[in-house]
């Protein structure tokens, strides 16, 4: 057996995890190898000094001192939990607002812009236009186009040029 | 009452059940803290913090492992974090250890045998603190606290094979660092 292996087995033997049968091999090696015997003594001394350090008796009334702290911690924990939930709810709330706004934008029909004064007059029959011209007028989505159609429409109906509405 | 039952009752908020668990595990947790602080009051404070932490985390404990292992893991992590925060867990430079121990070794002749032995224990622990953190931890858990390989493997979340090899390396390192002192004081038995 090589000394390196013997050292590993030696340390395992201190922990009682050396497989059966290897103990004899190790003992045989230790008998023959003075440097490994020295190693064994050193390890024994070292581990002995590590283990033998005295502990101390715990302070008395541990539970009596701990119990009020646990109660305090319990109360504080409820608040912390509440705070955590509140913090967690902020992004959820913002997400919901965003989704609602997006849904409102996508699903709800886009309302027409407010009528201009000219259109309002037209609706009140303040400006006389023929029926097809009025229909064309309301087909236009853009405000500028509607204004132009209204302008040229009235000119076509009443103006001197006599241009008809396209 | 069975421990699992005590844990279940503690989870449902029964203080008496938790007090039984505290009474059972307090000595070991205190010992873990005391071993590193060497101060009863500081160890007591640490033990209280550990049990408070465990109490708060108790609802998350799923009883998959033993309560003791779970608690020791909390204790180990808490003590380690505490020492990291305090800067005490960092490796003590080897030169510093050497100076400290030489002072003690010179004065040892004037003291009685018990004091001499105490000085030697102190030296070994100081040299232990010059090892890397993970090696200090494993020697602490095995050689000082006396946890089994399986327990250490669960506390540190490493395989038993890694426990074996890391422990082997740590002890080897410790012995090598102690070797000069032994020869300086007239061989092995002088230590």
Cα dihedral A113→A116→A119→A125 (10° resolution): 130
Contact with chain A for residue B173, Cβ under 8 A: no
Contact A15 B142 (CB under 8 A): yes
Q: Which of A111-125, B45-59, B87-101, B174-188 has the lowest mean pLDDT?
A: B87-101
- Residues contacting B46, CB < 8 A, separation 6+: B33, B37, B78, B79, B82
Report the CATH number of the B3-86 domain.
1.10.1740.10
* Contact present, B74 and B57 (Cβ < 8 Å): yes
- Residue A74 falls within a domain, yes or no? no
At the topology level, CATH places domain B94-190 in Arc Repressor Mutant, subunit A (1.10.10)
**More confident: B56 or A156:** B56
B130/B139 Cα distance (integer angstroms): 12
- The whole-number pLDDT of residue B91 equals 53
B50/B46 Cα distance (integer angstroms): 6
Chain A positions touching B52 (Cβ under 8 A) are 66, 69-70, 73
Of A39, A51, A77, the CB nearest to B144: A51
Q: Which of A45-54, A105-114, B37-46, B65-74 has the lowest mean pLDDT?
A: A105-114
Q: Show the 3-state SS of chain A.
A: CCHHHHHHHHHHHHHCCCCCCHHHHHHHHHHHCHHHHHHHHHHHHHHHHHHCCCCCCCCCCHHHHHHHHHHHHHHHHHHHHHHHHHHHHHHHHHHHHHHHHHHHHHHCCCCCCCCCHHHHHHHCCCCCCCHHHHHHHHHCCCHHHHHHHHHHHHHHHHCCCCCCCC
A78/A74 Cα distance (integer angstroms): 6
- The whole-number pLDDT of residue B74 equals 95
- The whole-number pLDDT of residue B93 equals 52
* pLDDT for residue B21 is more than 60: yes
Contact A46 B175 (CB under 8 A): yes
Contact B174 A12 (CB under 8 A): no
* pLDDT for residue B85 is more than 50: yes
Which structural domain range is residue A28 located in? Answer: 3-51
pLDDT band at B90 (very low <50, low <70, confident <90, very high): low
B129/B36 Cα distance (integer angstroms): 10
- Residue of B49, B54, B142, B176 to mutate, interface with A, max A Cβ within 10 Å: B142
- The whole-number pLDDT of residue A107 equals 80
**Shortest alpha-carbon distance between residue B86 and chain A (Å):** 22
* pLDDT for residue B100 is more than 50: no
B181/B191 Cα distance (integer angstroms): 8
- Matching residue, tokens 């094979």: B161
Contact B23 A15 (CB under 8 A): no
Q: Is B93 helix (H, G, I), strand (E, B) or coil?
A: coil
Q: Taking residues B74-80, what's their average pLDDT?
A: 94
* pLDDT for residue B102 is more than 80: no
Of A11, A55, A58, the CB nearest to B171: A11
Of B22, B31, B182, the CB nearest to A55: B31
* Range 58-77 of B in CB contact (< 8 A) with A: none
- The whole-number pLDDT of residue A120 equals 72
Contact with chain A for residue B55, Cβ under 8 A: yes
Residues of chain B with CATH 1.10.1740.10: 3-86
Contact A50 B35 (CB under 8 A): no
* pLDDT for residue B43 is more than 70: yes
Q: pTM for the complete prediction?
A: 0.66
B164/B182 Cα distance (integer angstroms): 26
Chain A positions touching B182 (Cβ under 8 A) are 42
How far is Cα of residue B71 from the mean position of the Cα atoms in its chain? 14
Determine phi and psi for A16, rounding to 5 degrees. 70, 25
- Matching residue, tokens 């965003």: A98
**More confident: A156 or B134:** B134
**More confident: A130 or A68:** A68
Q: Taking residues A91-101, what's their average pLDDT?
A: 91
- ipTM higher than the 0.85 cut: no
Residues of chain B with CATH 1.10.10.10: 94-190
What is the DSSP secondary structure assignment for residue B166, as one 8-state letter?
H
Contact A45 B191 (CB under 8 A): yes
- Residue A9 falls within a domain, yes or no? yes
Q: How many residues does chain B have?
A: 191
What is the number of domains present in chain A?
Answer: 2
- Residue of B21, B47, B121 to mutate, interface with A, max A Cβ within 10 Å: B121
């Amino acid at each position: 057996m090589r000394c390196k292996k013997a050292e590993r087995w030696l340390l395992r033997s201190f922990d009682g995890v050396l497989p059966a049968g290897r103990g004899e091999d190790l003992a045989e090696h230790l008998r023959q190898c003075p440097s490994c015997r020295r190693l064994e003594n050193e390890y024994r001394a070292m581990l002995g000094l590590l283990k033998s350090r005295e502990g101390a008796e715990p302070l008395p009334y541990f539970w009596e001192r701990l119990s009020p702290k646990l109660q305090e911690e319990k109360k504080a924990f409820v608040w912390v939990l509440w705070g955590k939930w509140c913090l967690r709810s902020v992004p959820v709330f913002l997400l919901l607002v965003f989704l609602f706004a997006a849904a409102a934008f996508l699903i709800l029909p886009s309302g027409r812009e407010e009528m201009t004064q000219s259109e309002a007059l037209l609706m009140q029959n303040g400006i006389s236009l023929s029926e097809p011209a009025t229909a064309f007028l309301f087909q236009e989505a853009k405000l500028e186009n509607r204004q132009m159609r209204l302008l040229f429409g009235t000119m076509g109906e009443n103006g001197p040029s006599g241009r008809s509405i396209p | 009452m069975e421990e699992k039952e005590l844990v279940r009752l503690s989870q449902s908020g029964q203080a008496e059940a938790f007090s039984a668990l505290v009474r059972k595990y307090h000595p070991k947790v205190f010992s873990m803290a005391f071993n590193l602080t060497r101060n009863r009051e500081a160890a007591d404070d640490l033990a209280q913090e550990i049990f408070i932490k465990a109490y708060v985390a108790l609802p998350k404990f799923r009883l998959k492992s033993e309560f003791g292992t779970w608690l020791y893991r909390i204790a180990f992590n808490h003590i380690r974090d505490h020492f990291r925060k305090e800067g005490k867990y960092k490796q003590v430079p080897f030169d510093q250890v050497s100076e400290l121990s030489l002072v003690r070794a010179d004065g040892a002749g004037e003291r009685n045998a018990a004091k001499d032995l105490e000085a030697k224990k102190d030296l070994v622990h100081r040299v232990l603190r010059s090892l890397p953190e993970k090696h200090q931890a494993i020697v602490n858990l095995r050689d000082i606290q006396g946890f089994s390989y399986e327990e250490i493997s669960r506390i540190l979340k490493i395989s038993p094979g890694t426990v074996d090899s890391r422990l082997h390396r740590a002890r080897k390192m410790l012995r090598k660092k102690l070797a000069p002192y032994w020869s300086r004081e007239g061989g092995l038995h002088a230590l």
